[in-house]
């Protein structure tokens, strides 16, 4: 089974920098996390290559650790394919060149030809490197449907 919803939930997090976003540092970081969601939904590999730090890791909902390359390979293959990939109910804390963003990601799409729809709670760690925000660690947990 693919790691589709668990792998990208962060991701959760980032765009090339977020200089055009107005507001507090926390609002800027949250806007960056949504930009990353958009990049996964649009399968925008060049943007994702810039967003994910070389040492990026994701701990998915099955406790597997995935590397940056494993995440990018799924985008290259085009599976999973996302119809919805949206962060909400977020909080952010900024500590100098580091930030922690927590929230919920709603994803909907297909993987291996099978439809899926799930909400995932995420915690992302971002670091400013060379003037750009980079996602370095993401941890996700599937929210059970009641």
- Among residues 43, 7, 1, 2, the alpha carbon closest in space to that of 122 is found at 7
pLDDT band for position 119 (cuts 50, 70, 90): very high
Q: Which residues span the domain enclosing 91?
A: 4-142
Helix, strand or coil, per DSSP, at residue 4? helix
Lowest model confidence (mean pLDDT) among 80-84, 93-97, 115-119, 130-134: 130-134
Give me the number of domains the chain comprises.
1
Model confidence pTM above 0.85:
no
Q: The CATH number of the domain where 89 resides is what? A: 3.10.450.50
């Amino acid at each position: 089974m693919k790691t589709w919803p668990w792998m990208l939930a962060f991701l959760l997090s980032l765009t090339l920098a977020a200089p055009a976003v107005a507001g507090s540092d926390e609002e800027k970081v949250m806007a960056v996390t949504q930009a990353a969601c958009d990049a996964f939904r649009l399968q925008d590999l060049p943007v994702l290559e810039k967003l994910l730090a070389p040492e990026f890791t994701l701990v998915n909902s099955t406790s597997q650790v995935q590397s940056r390359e494993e995440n990018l390979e799924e985008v290259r293959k085009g599976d999973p394919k996302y119809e919805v990939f949206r962060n909400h109910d977020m909080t952010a804390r900024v500590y100098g060149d580091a930030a922690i963003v927590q929230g919920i990601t709603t994803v909907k799409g297909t993987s291996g030809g099978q439809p899926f729809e799930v909400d995932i709670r995420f915690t992302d760690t971002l670091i400013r490197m060379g003037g750009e925000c980079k996602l370095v660690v993401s941890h996700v947990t599937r929210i059970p449907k009641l």
